[in-house]
Chain A
Amino acid sequence: MEAGLPSRDTIEAHLAKGEYGVGRGMLAALFESKPTLATAQYVTDRFLRSSAPRTPLKVAILRSYTVEPMVPLLRARAALLGLDLSVHVGEFGAYNQELLDASGALSEFAPDVVVVAVLTDSAIPDVWRRATELGPEALVQHVDEALAQVERCLGRLRERSKAHVILHTLDRPMWLAAGLLDEQSPSGQVALVQRYNDGLRRIARGIRGVYVLDFEGVAAAHGRARFYDPKKALTMGMPLAHDALLPLADAHMRIIAPIAGKSAKVLVLDLDNTLWGGVVGEDGVFGVKIGSDYPGAGYQELQRAAVDLSRRGILLAIASKNNPADAEEVFAKRKEMVLRLDHFAAVQIHWNDKATSLRAIAAELNVGIDALAFVDDNPVERQRIELELPDVHVISLPTDPIGYAAAVRSAPVFERLTLSSEDKDRSKIYVEQRQRSELEKGAASVEDYYRSLQMVATISAVGPGNLARVAQLTQKTNQFNLTTRRYSDQEIELWAAREDARVFCLSVRDRFGDSGLVGVAIVSRTGGEAEIDSLLLSCRVIGRTVETAMLAHIVAWARDAGVRWLQGSFIPTKKNAPASDFYARHGFARVETSPDGDVQLFRLDVREADVRRPEWIVMEEG
């Protein structure tokens, strides 16, 4: 047994007590210290027998070579992420038939994920063996035909299955048939393998749910000389060396984790000895190590990794035991810092324990505790979190800060398969929200706070540019939503086309940023009466009085249109209490309540109504 590693008895005792977070951390350390097939199987068996929640996932691996020794490693990594992987391995070299066959073992297995693991000698055999014998046209045609076959097979699979597909890129031969001359030819082996890989990526971009695993990149990163075992290739059909198995399993996990929804939304960072070297309270603002030389560069590199993740839509947060003023001073005064305080969506700097901080961060950002990933140099803090909050993704750091950034960058929970524009802006929106709350805390009165925000509300009509967003708001808004009526894009289009109805769209911006389209009201009119069918506000802008501005606009419109009575319903749900007093506090009279209390009807006499735009909001028409 190696020093510092927990014994199997210790691990099993924690798991038996239901402390699966601690058990997971220990099993991960055990596996890391000795990532063999036997350890992998032990880790999987023990963890899947624990009380930890897990999601089943079926993975089929279609292949041209022996992939079986990688499977236990893949299952162990998956188990530690909360995935119970069932793996079906296809017949040798039968991958194309299996993809085409609608009634075979693959279809029966009904996989969630299909991996196509094929090596260059099988995918494009003429490039592998006859590169100096065949002419350039024949070789290019050979590659293009192989790609066309891949596309055809995936098309057939898609007709019967929604499974996600992972395609391996091809690796170049270790020794090129033409030697140095290969580089001089546009149809050299390197160029042809590149052509195939480019084609594979094009195919993946064209079919939903198809992803490329950069096998060539993994082989290069770990060294071709250590990646292959030519003797085992011949004696056992097993071309991959031991050293290739774990990197390859990890490359699969980086795609499988986001497919299975095992994703962290927030990266929670410690400060002392994590974001900088040393302890600011003892070493002082100019004593902590951060910069471009060792060891400061290791911390700086971790900060760069955090910035990269935030551009992927992952929110950043701080959980640190410190005097807030000391910590803030490092951000303010040390120019070597890559991260600034305004990169963080939530900040917990105090002397309370970190589990409390993590709970507060999850609550503030409105995410589940299992959406947090926690990075701290101190193994004691990490284990406290594993014990108290076992569903947090705790990321182990090596002892040398030079390895910190890689530990964070390689975590599968930060991988994303696609990036929406909302993902890119998410960080910004939360950070702006935090700045607003700080301003509110410092303001003398709530009115002062509203004034200092410098809000501008824009009312516009619904059109092709915002239709999808309007429909999305009706579908996703739960809290400030008076009737919670859900509409599709098509239904919103119908509302917009009606002569007797109006769809009001509200966008809000302030000194901290643009919140975008955050409010919708749908109003229909019959003669002297108008009915508010829907009125909702995104939670991004609740509590800033913009609903009053929107209603003032609607009342003014009704008055101009000759409407006497403006009617609206409030339909209570489990979540829409924040909107329950909306009509009452704007002078509407309650006229009726359905016997079961499910619908409350309100009415406003437009001629006598006094609904005014709050003076701190500037209104514009868009």
Chain B
Amino acid sequence: MTETTFSRVRRTLSDLFSLSPDAITVDTTQKDIEAWDSMGHLMFIEALEQEFETQFSPENVEAMRDLGTIVRLLGAP
């Protein structure tokens, strides 16, 4: 069973902020989620780096404010 990048991002986000995965789509942005504030952003970036075993550049960290961009930066699948 291979999970898509989107579904891994969604699970990371829903686990981290205790959200229902159903409420999260590829269009979800930082503004839609209350807990995703500036500290929340740092935590989410940490969590994504752990999930995908990668490190983001400071420029990408700035840009990763919506799920579409995050999935694109992480690359398919």
Contact = CB atoms under 8 A, between A and B. Distances in A.
A38 interface: yes
Contacts of B46: 37, 69, 238, 242
Contacts of A236: 42, 45, 61
B71 to A, nearest CB: 16
A526 interface: no
Q: State the main secondary structure of chain A at its contact with B.
A: helix
* Size range of the chain A interface in the assembly: 10 to 19
Given A36-B51, A68-B42, A238-B42, A42 B15 contact: yes
B32 interface: no
A38 B15 contact: yes
Contact of B43 (A39, A45, A68, A242): A68
A236 B41 CA distance: 10
Nearest to A43: B15
* Size range of the chain B interface in the assembly: 10 to 19
B11 interface: yes
Contacts, number: 46
A41 interface: yes
Nearest to A35: B50
B25 to A, nearest CB: 18
A41 B18 contact: yes
Given A42-B15, A66-B42, A238-B42, A37 B47 contact: yes
Contacts of A37: 16, 43, 46-47, 50
B55 to A, nearest CB: 8
B47 A38 contact: yes
Interface string A417-459: 0000000000000000000000000000000000000000000
B76 interface: no
Interface of A: 1, 36-39, 41-42, 45, 66, 68-69, 72, 231, 235-236, 238, 242
27 contacts: A36-B50, A36-B51, A37-B16, A37-B43, A37-B46, A37-B47, A38-B11, A38-B12, A38-B16, A38-B50, A38-B51, A39-B15, A41-B15, A41-B16, A41-B18, A42-B15, A45-B18, A68-B39, A68-B42, A68-B43, A69-B46, A231-B58, A235-B58, A235-B61, A236-B45, A238-B42, A242-B50
Given A36-B51, A68-B39, A235-B58, 19 more contacts: A1-B1, A36-B12, A36-B47, A38-B13, A38-B15, A38-B50, A41-B15, A45-B18, A68-B43, A69-B42, A72-B43, A231-B58, A236-B42, A236-B45, A236-B61, A238-B42, A238-B46, A242-B49, A242-B50
